[in-house]
């Protein structure tokens, strides 16, 4: 079989080493033009996005292996009626993303960013007895939207802080039900939102989840509640969230995912939103790095290579995405 690995990363060679003589591996950069040029006659593509032209019946493509969990850059409408293309994602970063989500929660709850910024200026106004006392985590209630690989890892960790846990999923079911006290369908989530002190978003971006956290949803939240998003920006209505934060209708938010990204990854000069979140003190902003740790980059390629090898050897690969649900 022929495999195209769309990555300039030094770790891309890991996939070549894993496959060895089991497949012919070609490398390309991550541009759609390069993937299209080098991917016309391959059986498998390892990439977070694939040109629609390669998803048509006549392309011969059999498998897409993404490096990340999110698959919103794959055009599933082009393959929903095909039985010969599978898409597999990766949950290798679930524990790291969970740790980061909780870090964002703590950073907002404990006023960490303003504390640091003002003390560097010599201003002690946030010292003991001053502004914005810490929000306690213990004995609070947290609602996790999405109880999959990442959501379940978040739940495991929050249990250590004596947090009461609720969750909601699209179907109202999860293999991790034992981690939470209540699990409901997302369209039945209002009472849990009203009761929760913290809400963490860890669900995939689909047509159903886009805009889920809108003005109406935010109106159900407590005035001292905190929202954390480590899933995808468009799940939240950016103006509705900005207005709520600006008007102090919720306590704060920690965001690692956004609505706008630079044309070049890690580039400069591109604000992450059309509204000025950077002006808000009750927001902790992070540049989409929750899944980035000392080991995860290597592990992304390690898992991709091993999962592709399973497919090449005629075994069923892990993490096959439902093309109709998008996760």
Q: What is the CATH number of the domain that holds 216?
A: 3.40.50.720
**Does 324 fall in a domain?**
no
Q: Would you say 298 and 15 are in contact if contact means Cβ atoms under 8 Å apart?
A: no
235, 299: one domain: no
112, 243: one domain: yes
**Does 327 fall in a domain?**
no
Q: What is the pLDDT along the chain (327 residues), one digit of tens a residue?
A: 999 999 988 889 999 999 999 999 999 999 999 999 999 899 999 999 999 888 876 678 999 999 989 898 898 888 877 778 999 999 999 999 999 999 999 999 999 999 999 999 999 999 999 999 999 999 999 999 999 999 999 999 999 999 999 999 999 999 999 999 999 999 999 999 999 999 999 999 999 999 999 999 999 999 999 999 999 999 999 999 999 999 999 999 999 999 999 988 888 888 899 999 999 999 999 999 999 999 999 999 999 999 999 999 999 999 999 988 888
**Does 322 fall in a domain?**
no
77, 99: one domain: no
244, 174: one domain: yes
The per-residue pLDDT for 60 is 87
281, 301: one domain: no
71, 47: one domain: yes
118, 219: one domain: yes
The per-residue pLDDT for 100 is 98
159, 267: one domain: yes
116, 135: one domain: yes
**Does 200 fall in a domain?**
yes
The per-residue pLDDT for 206 is 93
The per-residue pLDDT for 59 is 75
Q: Would you say 221 and 214 are in contact if contact means Cβ atoms under 8 Å apart?
A: no
Number of domains in the chain: 2
**Does 214 fall in a domain?**
yes
* Residue span of the structural domain in which 127 resides: 94-285
DSSP H helices in the chain: 12-19, 32-38, 94-109, 112-120, 149-158, 190-195, 215-220, 238-246, 296-312
The per-residue pLDDT for 321 is 94
299, 224: one domain: no
156, 40: one domain: no
The per-residue pLDDT for 174 is 96
DSSP 313: T
**Does 317 fall in a domain?**
no
- Percent of all residues in the chain with a pLDDT value above 90, rounded to a whole number: 86
Q: Which residues sit opposite 198 in a β-bridge?
A: 142, 226
177, 82: one domain: no
**Does 318 fall in a domain?**
no
- CA–CA distance, 82 with 56 (Å, rounded to integer): 9
How many other β-carbons are positioned within 10 Å of the β-carbon of residue 165?
22
pTM (2 d.p.): 0.93
**Does 243 fall in a domain?**
yes
């Amino acid at each position: 079989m022929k495999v195209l690995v769309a990555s300039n990363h030094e770790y891309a060679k890991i996939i070549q080493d894993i496959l060895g003589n089991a497949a012919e591996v070609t490398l390309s950069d991550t541009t759609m033009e390069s993937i299209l040029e080098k991917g016309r006659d391959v059986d498998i593509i390892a990439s977070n996005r694939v040109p629609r032209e390669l998803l048509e019946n006549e392309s011969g493509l059999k498998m897409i292996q993404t490096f990340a969990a999110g698959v919103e850059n794959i055009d599933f409408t082009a393959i929903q009626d095909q039985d010969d293309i599978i898409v597999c994602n990766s949950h290798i970063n679930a524990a790291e993303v969970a740790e980061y989500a909780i870090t964002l929660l703590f950073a907002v709850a404990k006023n960490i960013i303003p504390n640091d910024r003002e003390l560097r200026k010599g201003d002690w106004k946030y010292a003991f007895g001053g502004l914005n006392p810490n929000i306690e985590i213990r004995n609070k209630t947290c609602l996790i939207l999405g109880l999959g690989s990442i959501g379940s890892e978040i739940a495991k960790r929050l249990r250590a802080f004596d947090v009461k846990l609720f969750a909601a999923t699209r179907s109202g079911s999860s293999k991790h039900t034992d981690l939470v006290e209540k699990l409901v369908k997302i369209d039945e989530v209002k009472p849990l939102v009203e009761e929760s002190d913290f809400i963490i978003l860890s669900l995939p971006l689909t047509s159903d989840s886009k805009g889920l956290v809108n003005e109406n949803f935010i109106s159900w939240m407590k005035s001292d509640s905190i929202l954390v998003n480590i899933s995808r920006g468009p799940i939240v209505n950016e103006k509705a969230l900005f207005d709520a934060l600006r008007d102090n209708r919720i306590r704060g938010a920690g965001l690692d995912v956004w609505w706008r990204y630079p044309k070049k990854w890690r580039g400069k000069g591109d604000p992450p939103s059309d509204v000025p979140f950077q002006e808000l003190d009750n927001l902790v902003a992070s540049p989409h790095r929750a899944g980035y740790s000392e080991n995860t980059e290597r592990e992304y390629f390690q898992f991709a290579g091993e999962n592709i090898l399973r497919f090449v050897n005629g075994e069923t690969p892990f993490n096959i995405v439902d093309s109709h649900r998008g996760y």
